[in-house]
């Protein structure tokens, strides 16, 4: 069990969470979410911890991100260095571990039921704090993929994520739900065949409930917090959208406004708006496609108002909402693709006034609104003359 905890502490995801950037300063791993940050660490060096902490503070300060840094019992010297750097400590919590359950306690899943997720969010807000805020867990659902579980049973809920061979409890809204969480055999869910241990952080009644269900205290953890003087951003640079009402509403409005008609043989796939142009991209060389993509990104960034967000929609798949001024560079990568590889790809403003529509079967890109005014000549230089124009 101690080995499971050590793997958890040093675990780094292969891909960063949606809208986040991962940086390393051995032995520290920083996750920058744009709204806040998290720091974790492996075995600490024997050298100057004050200097190590100071570098992390500087990195989070550059991004204007508050940071949380979990410190486990045995991390000698680190609490003193954090306090000296201006961090403040939460109360201590027990870290509880046990092998996963072997009976078949049934737990309902929320899946993509958005009202269910909203119900869990309401319960979480009323019962926090939790090891992992539910809003952050939900924002990372795409990153966690099949390693995430949300369970809801009336007025009781929990959310869990798989990290290596450990199923980590992010939050439980009712101590009475603890026993069912412990008894459930997570391997029955299919994707969790490698899970061997359940881990939770708890205090007071929740700790007692977990211990009564068979978990034992392995160590303790205290979370330390630091915040820069300025107000941090309120939203991540990129957010994933799939089952949210906002996502469905945007698709509905786009389909109505542009008479979207998906078909593998009937072209074009929309009623192309006045003041648009459409280029064929199917036989373009790689260099031309790279130039075309960069031109679209630059044009979109320059066409929106300061602080205005864009959407990337992918037919029958997850989409994204993002701030084009906060992606690339030191931020997360620009979401989505311009080239319609496999399905319809759309960049769009919320008011539908400008964007692109990529048709995968015709292998074309329609550019409309102010974006066309900005990038039309450059796209023609990269791809040749448009195959269609819709005059203003």
* Residue 152 shares a structural domain with residue 257: no
Residue 324 lies in a domain: yes
Q: How far is CA 305 from CA 308, 328, 349, 353, in A?
A: 5, 18, 10, 12
* Residue 171 shares a structural domain with residue 22: yes
Q: Residue 175: its pLDDT value, please?
A: 96
Helix (H, G, I), strand (E, B) or coil at 102: coil
Q: Residue 142: its pLDDT value, please?
A: 60
Q: Residue 352: its pLDDT value, please?
A: 98
Interatomic CA distance for residues 278 and 318, integer angstroms: 25
Query: Could you read off the pLDDT of 31-80 as tens digits, one per residue?
Result: 999 999 999 998 888 889 999 999 999 999 999 999 999 999 989 999 99
Residue 231 lies in a domain: no
* Residue 98 shares a structural domain with residue 31: yes
* Residue 294 shares a structural domain with residue 168: no
* Residue 256 shares a structural domain with residue 215: no
* Residue 204 shares a structural domain with residue 303: no
Count of structural domains within the chain: 2
Give the end of a domain, one of 226, 250, 269. Answer: 226
Give the chain's residues under pLDDT 50: none
* Residue 221 shares a structural domain with residue 289: no
pTM value? 0.91
Query: Could you read off the pLDDT of 80-102 as tens digits, one per residue?
Result: 999 999 999 999 999 999 998 87
Interatomic CA distance for residues 381 and 171, integer angstroms: 54
Residue 233 lies in a domain: no
Query: Could you read off the pLDDT of 162-185 as tens digits, one per residue?
Result: 888 899 999 999 999 999 999 988
* Residue 136 shares a structural domain with residue 282: no
**Cβ–Cβ contacts within 10 Å for residue 221, how many?**
18
CATH of the domain at 101: 3.40.630.30
* Residue 94 shares a structural domain with residue 12: yes
Nearest CA-CA partner of 311 in 300, 130, 302: 300
Give the end of a domain, one of 199, 226, 253. Answer: 226
Residue 369 lies in a domain: yes
* Residue 246 shares a structural domain with residue 324: yes
Q: Residue 146: its pLDDT value, please?
A: 58
Find tokens 């931020």 and name the residue: 331
Q: Are 59 and 30 in contact (CB under 8 A)?
A: yes
* Residue 191 shares a structural domain with residue 256: no
Give the end of a domain, one of 226, 247, 277. Answer: 226
Residue 365 belongs to domain spanning: 238-390
Nearest CA-CA partner of 334 in 364, 306, 301: 301
* Residue 140 shares a structural domain with residue 204: yes
Q: Residue 86: its pLDDT value, please?
A: 98
Residue 232 lies in a domain: no
Residue 114 lies in a domain: yes
């Amino acid at each position: 069990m101690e080995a499971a905890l050590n793997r958890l502490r040093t675990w780094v995801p292969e891909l960063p969470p949606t809208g986040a950037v991962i940086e390393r300063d051995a032995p520290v791993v920083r996750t920058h979410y744009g709204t806040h940050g998290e720091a974790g660490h492996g075995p600490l060096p024997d050298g100057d911890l004050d200097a190590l902490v100071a570098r992390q503070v500087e990195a989070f300060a550059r991004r204007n991100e508050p940071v949380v840094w979990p410190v486990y019992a045995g991390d000698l010297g680190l609490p003193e260095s954090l306090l000296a750097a201006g961090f403040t400590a939460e109360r201590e919590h027990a870290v509880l571990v046990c092998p996963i359950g072997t009976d078949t306690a049934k737990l309902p899943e929320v899946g993509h039921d958005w009202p269910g997720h909203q119900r869990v969010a309401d319960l979480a807000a009323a019962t926090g704090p939790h090891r992992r805020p539910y809003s952050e867990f939900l924002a990372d659902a795409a990153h966690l993929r099949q390693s995430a579980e949300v369970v809801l049973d009336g007025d009781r809920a929990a959310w869990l994520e798989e990290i290596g061979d450990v199923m980590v409890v992010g939050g439980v809204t009712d101590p009475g739900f603890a026993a069912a969480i412990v008894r459930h055999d997570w391997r029955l869910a299919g994707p969790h065949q490698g899970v061997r241990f359940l881990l939770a952080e708890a205090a007071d009644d929740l700790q007692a409930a977990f211990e009564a269900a068979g978990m034992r205290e392995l160590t303790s953890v205290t979370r330390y917090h630091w915040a820069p003087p300025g107000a941090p951003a309120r939203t991540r640079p990129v957010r994933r959208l799939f089952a949210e009402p906002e996502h469905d509403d945007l698709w509905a409005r786009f389909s109505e406004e542009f008479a979207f008609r998906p078909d593998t043989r009937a072209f074009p796939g929309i009623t192309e708006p006045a003041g648009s142009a459409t280029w064929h991209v199917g036989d373009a060389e790689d260099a031309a496609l790279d130039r075309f993509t960069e031109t679209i990104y630059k044009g979109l960034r320059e066409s929106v108002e300061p602080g205005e967000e864009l959407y990337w929609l992918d037919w029958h798949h997850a989409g994204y909402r993002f701030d084009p001024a906060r992606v690339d560079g030191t931020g997360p990568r620009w979401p989505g693709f311009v080239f319609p590889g496999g399905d319809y790809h759309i960049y769009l403003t919320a008011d539908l006034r400008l964007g692109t529509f990529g048709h995968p079967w015709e292998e074309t890109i329609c550019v409309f609104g102010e974006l066309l005014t900005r990038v039309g000549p450059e796209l023609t230089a990269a791809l040749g003359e448009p195959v269609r124009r819709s005059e203003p």
